[in-house]
Amino acid sequence: MILTPGATIGVLGGGQLGRMLATAAAELGFTVHIFCPDADPPAAAVAAATTIAAWEDEAALAAFAAAVDVVTYEFENVPVAAVRPLGDKVRPGPLALEVAQDRLAEKAFLAECGLPVAPHRDVASPGDIAAALEALGGHAILKTRRMGYDGKGQVRLTPGADVAAAFTAIGEVPAIVEALVPFQAETSTVLARGADGGIAAYAAPANEHAEGILRRSTVPGPLAAGLEAEAQRLTADVAAALGYVGVMAIEWFVTGETARPLIANEMAPRVHNTGHWTQDAALTSQFENHIRAIAGWPLGATTRTADATMVNLIGHDADDWRAHLDMEGAKLHLYGKRDTRPGRKMGHVNVVRRGVDFRLGG
Ligand code: AMP
């Protein structure tokens, strides 16, 4: 399937990623139709059409699928049952969603593809958690298997932790206990895989998180060239095993150990927050490359054009939007969200620089 300009791209999910995909699609001459269960989605403001309906609304999904030439998603928790009936029209396909929606399945898949993952155990009760914590050396993180993002559904565990309280805190759902990785840095590989299997990978940034939420991504990042290429090769192996078409990401812990320098944390079957810097410091942004891939077009060059730091504007950080307009090298991106809530991603700033070292934010 190769789309021609003027074709309609359907996007499942209406958040900021859908909004930035829709903008990139419009720049290439496509029309975008958003499908989203929430009222007033940020992506709707920049799309030609929007369907607001539940994922379970089969008639609405069928009408949406009939109205578009290809379907993609911007959100990994789209129910697989909603995607499967769309058949070959969906890029990337449902397998990537299925794997990414369950942390246990995801770790098994990544390990099968040759990626080192943190030691972990499958748990479903306080007793399981206690046993896993002991087996993993007493420092670990309890994570729900499903529906966790931005640090939600996670509890840190230390030796002698109140495992019953931890299980209650995550809602008493199936989970994993994962050994705490004493990492030196965090990074990620964001790459596009074309419909022909070709790969275009971006530079791996240094990613800084606070309270489980990404705060900043800086390129160049922490990896020496050889290790960055290895991370790209491993990510490409995962993409190939998934038969993936589009942009995906693997998040890595950088350990500083020679034997296992990289440990895969998780994968994202979509454009990724740690790739937002590509909008202003790469020849082709991750959003454009996702659209090119799903359109069956050749991928664009991922060449980095400058040093850059992407700073997320979280909650009331975005109230300071005016200050970023005057800052040298700063490019402001706001998502048009009406309600500011703590922890909500409201926008980001890409600070692009050539030889100037300045830092923004806390
Ligand atoms: P996640 O939602 O699994 O990506 O976790 C969010 C953030 O929590 C990660 O980016 C890390 O900063 C931290 N984190 C998650 N898992 C671990 C781990 N096993 N060891 C150390 N830090 C972790």
Report the relative pairing of strands 31-36 and 8-12 from DSSP bridges.
parallel
Q: Quote the CATH superfamily of domain 119-179.
A: ATP-grasp fold, A domain (3.30.1490.20)
Q: How far is the CA of 252 from the centre of ligand 1 (A)?
A: 9
Q: Whose alpha carbon is nearest atom 1 of ligand 1? A: 151
Task: Give the global pTM.
Answer: 0.95
Tokens of 74: 């911007």
Question: Measured from the CB, is residue 178 less than 6 Å from ligand 1?
Answer: yes
| Range scoring the smallest mean pLDDT among 13-27, 145-159, 203-217 | 145-159
The kind and range of the H/E element at 249 are strand 246-254
**CB of 135 closer than 8 Å to CB of 127:** no
Tally of CB atoms within 10 A around 277: 31
Reduce the DSSP state of residue 157 to 3 states and report it: strand
- For helices 16-27 and 286-294, the axis angle rounded to 10 degrees is 70
Residue 152 confidence (pLDDT): 75
Nearest ligand 1 atom to alpha carbon 148: 2
Q: What percent of the chain has pLDDT over 70?
A: 97
Nearest ligand 1 atom to alpha carbon 143: 3
Question: Measured from the CB, is residue 177 less than 6 Å from ligand 1?
Answer: no
Q: How many residues does the chain have?
A: 362
Four-residue CA torsion sign, 293, 285, 61, 30? negative
Q: How far is the CA of 322 from the centre of ligand 1 (A)?
A: 32
* Distance in angstroms (rounded) separating the CA atoms of residues 293 and 245: 6
Q: Whose alpha carbon is nearest atom 2 of ligand 1? A: 151
Residue 153 confidence (pLDDT): 87
Tokens of 290: 């996702």
* Distance in angstroms (rounded) separating the CA atoms of residues 204 and 274: 9
**CB of 168 closer than 8 Å to CB of 161:** no
Nearest ligand 1 atom to alpha carbon 183: 21
Question: Measured from the CB, is residue 186 less than 6 Å from ligand 1?
Answer: yes
CB-based contacts of 322, cutoff 8 Å, min separation 6: none
pLDDT digits (tens, 9 = 90+) for 76-108: 999 999 999 999 999 999 999 999 999 999 999
Assess whether pLDDT exceeds 50 at residue 314.
yes
CATH class of segment(s) 8-90? alpha beta
Q: What percent of the chain has pLDDT over 90?
A: 94
**CB of 18 closer than 8 Å to CB of 74:** yes
**CB of 69 closer than 8 Å to CB of 3:** yes
The kind and range of the H/E element at 149 are none
Residue spans per domain, the chain: 8-90, 119-179, 185-352
pLDDT digits (tens, 9 = 90+) for 41-68: 999 999 999 999 999 999 999 999 999 9
Q: How far is the CA of 265 from the centre of ligand 1 (A)?
A: 7
Assess whether pLDDT exceeds 90 at residue 151.
no
Architecture of domain 185-352: 2-Layer Sandwich (3.30)
Of the pLDDT bands very low, low, confident and very high (cuts 50, 70, 90), residue 280 is very high
